[in-house]
Amino acid sequence: MKKIVVIVAGGTGRRMNSGTPKQFLLLNGKPVLFYTINSFLQAYNDLQIILVLPEEHIAAGQEIIDAFFDYSRIQITIGGRTRFHSVQNGLQLVNEESIVFVHDAVRCLVTVDLIKRCYEAAMENGSAIPVIDSKDSVRLVTGEANEALERNTIKLVQTPQTFHSKILIPAYQIDYKDKFTDEATVVEAFGLKVKLVNGEENNFKITRPIDLLMAERLIAEK
């Protein structure tokens, strides 16, 4: 079945104390976005990429594609005001039955193994949401009250969140709600369940300077 990844690259450099958006920061001499795109292209020879960028960053994204990749496998489209609207814009370019991955551009350490695990699970179940265990204690805050939650019932959610296009595209026709933080919440609001799969500890988002340092070290160790 056709394979398409929608890579959402709408981040800024605010938490990095940088004027450069996170996806364009250099990691061992190459942009963060390079590693993300490269992992997906290595996973499957027939996979196509839809890169969703804010309009003001499209030229920078195109420069990365021109410098490193086969442009015939990558399309760029303009992002929206939220992640939901950015994914919605990307899905407009999916014009045939596919398995669709949706991935955060700044999760640049995603592995080929995880991509393939998500694809296989989505083929079997219609969806695949990578998750890892919480190592920290977790508390639920309600107004002035708070209570401990059972840590072993908590999962931390990652990407690529992966779906059959027959599920994801109709789900993204529903009206936007503030609670939509990822694709799984959209699909659940559409009335469907999602399948969890094992994620990877190193598949973290680069949001702070310490994350960039950790990613540099992990890439150097490969």
Tens-place pLDDT, residues 4-46: 999 999 755 455 556 788 999 999 999 999 999 999 999 999 9
- Here the CATH number for the domain that contains residue 100 is 3.90.550.10
What pLDDT shows up at residue 15? Answer: 55
Over residues 168-196, the mean pLDDT reads: 97
Over residues 123-148, the mean pLDDT reads: 96
18: containing domain = 2-221
Q: What's the chain's average pLDDT?
A: 95
What pLDDT shows up at residue 160? Answer: 98
Provide the domain count of the chain. Answer: 1
Output the pTM of the full model.
0.95
Q: Is residue 127 scored above 80 in pLDDT?
A: yes
Residue type, 62: Q
Q: Which residues 6+ apart lie within 8 Å of 140 measured at CB? A: 146, 147, 148, 149
The 10 Å Cβ neighbour count of residue 137 is 9
Select from 216, 221, 222 the least CA-distant residue to 28: 216
